[in-house]
């Protein structure tokens, strides 16, 4: 990894208290819970209130210190999925800054020259979660959790000098927290260190759940977010825990949005599951036995020794708005 990890002991203490806290909207009071449910044999009440924040806690299969949360802030960074489908602005289409400029030659004739691409681009990101017993049964359809969801979404915009996670490498403390608990607080510390070092521009974090149609609880937020990206920091990694699970996640690792001198106009990424390599349990509950020593991050390629298969759990679509 090209980024030093900064993790404070104070933050770790806060995590245990603030775990699984949905911050759906700072300006709006939490909605009434829809239902209660059971996961992993333990009963969870969506209306349970965290003593620290007073916010509604979404249901999740958690034991011990493992947590998963939902709420809303700005953030983004990631790559690594297979199934990329992209279009760029090299032909000048859909590029508000790439229009041609007409100039006059000394002989009075006119010629057309292409304007350089804009320094800043604005993207809408849509996360479509299709995880269900019907679309992704894995090894046992009965194992698909009732409250299946993607947890907090976290990442950054960075240059080639930063790398927050990669396939085949050990997970950083921030990635471990995200994959095991669904929180992105330590990951945001790592992003800030990259910003301070001049290799990242923005920390991206949305503290809400991204849910499939079958999951309807207060923690579920809107499926679309928006970000600004500059040419100098045009790589975007974004990750989210597959919840509830021991250490599974989806995401992209350093996805480039400015390629060969042009902004990517539309990019669709299939979201295949990754194994964070830090927990050894094979069921849809949080925590579980530690994997010692930890294993490198891997993409799930088969149902062997996994609780779900390798198929896509949905898509992440990047669309340039301007």
Residues found in the chain: 322
Q: What is the mean pLDDT of residues 192-203?
A: 98
Answer for the pair 98, 115: CB distance below 8 angstroms, yes or no: yes
What is the pLDDT, as a whole number, of residue 307?
Answer: 73
What is the pLDDT, as a whole number, of residue 231?
Answer: 98
What is the pLDDT, as a whole number, of residue 83?
Answer: 61
pLDDT digits (tens, 9 = 90+) for 253-295: 999 999 999 999 999 999 999 999 999 877 777 877 899 999 9
The Cα 202–Cα 225 span in angstroms is 15
The Cα 260–Cα 255 span in angstroms is 14
Q: What is the mean pLDDT of residues 104-123?
A: 73
Is residue 17 helix, strand or coil?
Answer: helix
Domains and CATH numbers, the chain: 9-97+117-320 (2.60.40.2130)
Query: Would you give the distance in Å from CA 100 to the centre of its chain?
Result: 36
Q: Is 187 left (phi over 0), alpha (psi -120 to 50) or beta?
A: alpha
The Cα 316–Cα 221 span in angstroms is 15
Answer for the pair 269, 84: CB distance below 8 angstroms, yes or no: yes
pLDDT over 70 (residue 67): no
CA-based nearest residue to 235, from 80, 102, 97, 61: 80
Q: Quick check: pTM over 0.85?
A: no
- 31-35, 45-49, 78-82, 139-143: range with highest mean pLDDT: 139-143
What is the pLDDT, as a whole number, of residue 16?
Answer: 33
Percent of the chain predicted with pLDDT > 70: 60
pLDDT digits (tens, 9 = 90+) for 25-38: 333 333 333 333 33
What is the pLDDT, as a whole number, of residue 285?
Answer: 77
Cα maximum dimension of the chain: 84
CA dihedral 187, 128, 28, 39 (to 10 degrees): -80
What is the pLDDT, as a whole number, of residue 5?
Answer: 35
Strands (DSSP E) contained in the chain are: 37-39, 42-44, 84-88, 100-104, 110-114, 120-129, 149-150, 153-158, 200-206, 224-230, 235-243, 248-256, 258-259, 262-270, 274-275, 298-299, 314-320
The Cα 70–Cα 54 span in angstroms is 13
> What tokens does 265 get?
């106009």
Q: What are phi and psi of 208, to 5 degrees?
A: -155, 170
Average pLDDT, the chain: 74
315 strand-pairing partners: 128, 270
């Amino acid at each position: 990894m090209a980024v030093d990890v900064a993790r404070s002991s104070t933050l770790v203490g806060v995590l245990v208290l603030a775990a699984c806290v949905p911050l759906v909207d700072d300006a709006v009071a939490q909605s009434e819970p829809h239902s209660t449910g059971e996961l992993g044999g333990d009963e969870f009440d969506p209306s349970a209130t965290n003593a620290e924040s007073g916010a509604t806690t979404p249901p999740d299969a958690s034991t011990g210190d493992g947590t998963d949360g939902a709420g809303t802030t700005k953030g983004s960074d990631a790559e690594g999925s297979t199934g990329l489908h992209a279009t760029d602005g090299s032909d000048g289409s859909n590029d508000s800054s790439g229009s041609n400029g007409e100039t006059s030659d000394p002989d009075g004739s006119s010629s057309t020259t292409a304007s350089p691409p804009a320094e800043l681009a604005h993207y809408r990101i849509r996360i479509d979660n299709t995880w269900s017993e019907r679309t992704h049964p894995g090894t046992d359809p009965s194992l698909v959790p009732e409250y299946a969801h993607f947890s907090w979404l976290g990442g950054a915009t960075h240059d080639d000098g930063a790398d927050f996670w990669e396939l085949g490498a050990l997970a950083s403390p921030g990635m471990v927290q995200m994959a095991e608990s669904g929180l992105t607080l330590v990951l945001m510390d790592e992003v800030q260190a990259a910003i301070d070092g001049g290799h990242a521009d923005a920390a991206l974090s949305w503290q809400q759940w991204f849910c499939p149609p079958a999951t309807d609880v207060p923690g579920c937020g809107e499926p679309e977010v928006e970000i600004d990206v500059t040419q100098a920091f045009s790589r975007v990694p974004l990750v989210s825990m597959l919840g509830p699970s021991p250490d599974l996640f989806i995401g992209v690792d350093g996805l480039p949005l400015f390629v060969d001198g042009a902004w990517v106009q539309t990019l669709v990424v299939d979201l295949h599951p990754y194994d964070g390599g830090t927990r050894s349990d094979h069921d849809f509950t949080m925590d579980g036995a530690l994997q010692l020593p930890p294993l490198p991050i891997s993409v799930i390629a088969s149902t062997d020794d996994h609780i779900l298969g390798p198929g896509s759990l949905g898509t992440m679509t990047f669309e340039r708005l301007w």
